[in-house]
Amino acid sequence: MKKLENNLKFNEKINTAMFSFQNFEEFLKSKYNKKIFISGINPSFLAYFLSFRLKFLEDKFILAIFPEERQAEEFISALNIFTKEKAVLYPSSVILPFSEAYTLAEEELQRIKIIWELPEIKFLAGSIEAILRKTVSIEDIKKAYQYLILDEKIEREKFLKKLLDLGYERVGTVREKGTFAVKGGVIDLWSPNYDFPVRIEFFGNEITGLKLFDPLSQKSFSTLEELTILPCREIFFPENTEVLYKNLFSWKDDLPEALFTQFLNQIENRYVFENRDLLLPIFYEKLNPLWENVKDREILVILYEPDLIERNAEKFWDGVYLNALKAREKRKLYFDESFLYLTLEEFNNKIKDFKKIIAKEVPFEDSSGGLSFYLSKKSVENDTGINKIEHAFKLLKNSLEDGERVILVVSDERTEKTVIEGLKFRGLENFKNLEIKKGILREGFYLPKWSIWVTSEYELFGKISLKKETSQIALRRAKGCFRKFEDLKPGDFVVHKYHGIGKYLGLIFLKVDGIEGEFLQ
Q: Which residues contact 2 (CB under 8 A, 6 or more apart)?
A: none
Whether residue 201 is found in the same domain as residue 270 = no
Range of the domain at 253: 242-283
How confident is the prediction for the chain on average, in pLDDT? 85
**Domain edge (last residue) among 372, 406, 424:** 372
What 296-300 contacts at long range (C-beta under 8 Å, 24+ apart), as own/partner pairs, is 297/59, 297/60, 297/61, 298/59, 298/60, 298/61, 298/355, 299/60, 299/61, 299/63, 299/354, 299/355, 300/28, 300/57, 300/60, 300/61, 300/62, 300/63, 300/354, 300/355, 300/356, 300/357
Residue 380 included in any domain = no
Whether residue 488 is found in the same domain as residue 449 = no
> CA 154 to CA 96: how far, in whole Å?
42
| pLDDT score, position 469 | 44
pLDDT in tens, 73-102: 999 999 999 999 999 999 988 777 777 655
Whether residue 183 is found in the same domain as residue 89 = no
Residue 378 included in any domain = no
Task: Count how many Cα atoms sit within 13 Å of the Cα of residue 395 in the half-sphere of its side chain.
Answer: 26
| pLDDT score, position 20 | 63
**Domain edge (last residue) among 447, 466, 485:** 466
pLDDT in tens, 289-342: 999 999 889 999 999 999 999 999 999 999 999 989 988 888 888 899 999 999
Whether residue 200 is found in the same domain as residue 258 = no
Whether residue 442 is found in the same domain as residue 480 = no
How many separate domains does the chain show?
5
Lowest mean pLDDT among 138-142, 367-371, 441-445, 454-458: 367-371
Whether residue 208 is found in the same domain as residue 223 = yes
Residue 382 included in any domain = no
Whether residue 317 is found in the same domain as residue 348 = yes
Residue 195 included in any domain = yes
Whether residue 295 is found in the same domain as residue 332 = yes
Residue 399 included in any domain = yes
Whether residue 445 is found in the same domain as residue 487 = no
CATH code assigned at 49: 3.40.50.11180
> CA 268 to CA 229: how far, in whole Å?
24
